[in-house]
Amino acid sequence: VSVGLVPTMGALHDGHRALLRAARAEHDRVIMSLFVNPTQFGEAADFETYPRDVERDLAIAESEGVDEVYMPTVEEMYPDGFQTTVTVGDLAARFEGAHRPGHFDGVATVVAKLFNRTRPDTAYFGEKDAQQLAVIRRMTADLDLGVEIRAVATVREPDGLAISSRNVRLRPDERRRAASLHRAMVARDPSLVDADLDYLAVVDPETFHEIPERPGAIVVVAARFGDTRLIDTIPVERS
């Protein structure tokens, strides 16, 4: 029996549905994990206000043919005495790692634990979180976890905004301005970002070193719209 795992923090949207469908198409058994992981949030406030709607998430999981929803509590994941962290090196210190210290330690550690607890053949992640994807690929290879990592294409709104759980926090004017992220990536022009820009760069998708533009490279962007920080990625296409 082959097992596909879709790790999530809930607040499911069409991007998650795409991950669930890919897993459903390729495996006998589909497990979705739903765990809002406190160790990957910088500020307690961001963790506490992260959108949560378990009833709706379970209904979506069922409608996408998920066999099992794995929903550990924080105490089950991190019992008293817990003190081990998985840290990925240089790759995880760049871009998002520099702006969100400790974030990728939290992600790498929880994903390693989720892999060990659910023993999947394949795990599915969104392309939008490109550096998370790279960190998880690196960690999985370096620790010989034996899980195949599959990236699934970003689902976008008609104006180009990548679908994300955090979009629900955008005020109407922020939502309108958020479409500028995609336009700026396409034009490779940071000045088009109508928000507080953290970075816009062309990078190697494995190392996150900045490289000259060429097919295979990706464009990454992060910006703050009021209290809401959004990130996005597009591939550099052959021209």
What is the contact surface with ligand PAF in residues (CB under 6 A)? Answer: 7-9, 37, 40, 107, 110-111, 129, 132
C-alpha 175/C-alpha 113 separation (Å) is 35
In the bound state with ligand PAF, the residue whose beta carbon lies nearer, of 129 and 198, is: 129
Closest to ligand PAF by CB, 180 vs 228, is 228
Q: How far is the CB of 114 from ligand PAF (least distance, A)?
A: 7
Of 92 and 236, which has the nearer Cβ to ligand PAF?
92
**Residue pair 166/15 in contact by the 8 Å Cβ criterion:** no
Reference 41, options 101, 117, 124; nearest CA is 101
- Whether residue 219 contacts residue 199, with contact meaning beta carbons closer than 8 Å, is answered with no
Q: Which of these is catalytic: 16, 27, 103, 182?
A: 16
Residue 58 Cβ vs ligand PAF, minimum distance, rounded to whole Å: 16
Minimum CB separation from ligand PAF for residue 2, in Å? 21
Instruction: Provide the minimum distance between the beta carbon of 35 and ligand PAF in the complex, in angstroms, as a whole number.
Output: 6
16 is catalytic: yes
At 30, is the secondary structure helix, strand, or coil? strand
Residue nearest ligand PAF (C-beta atom):
7
Closer to ligand PAF by CB, 106 or 195: give it: 106
Looking at the DSSP assignment, which residues form a beta bridge with residue 100?
A: none
Q: Number of helices and strands (H, E) in the chain?
A: 10, 8
| Whether the Cβ atoms of residue 76 and residue 35 lie closer than 8 Å to each other | no
Kindly list the catalytic residues.
Answer: 16
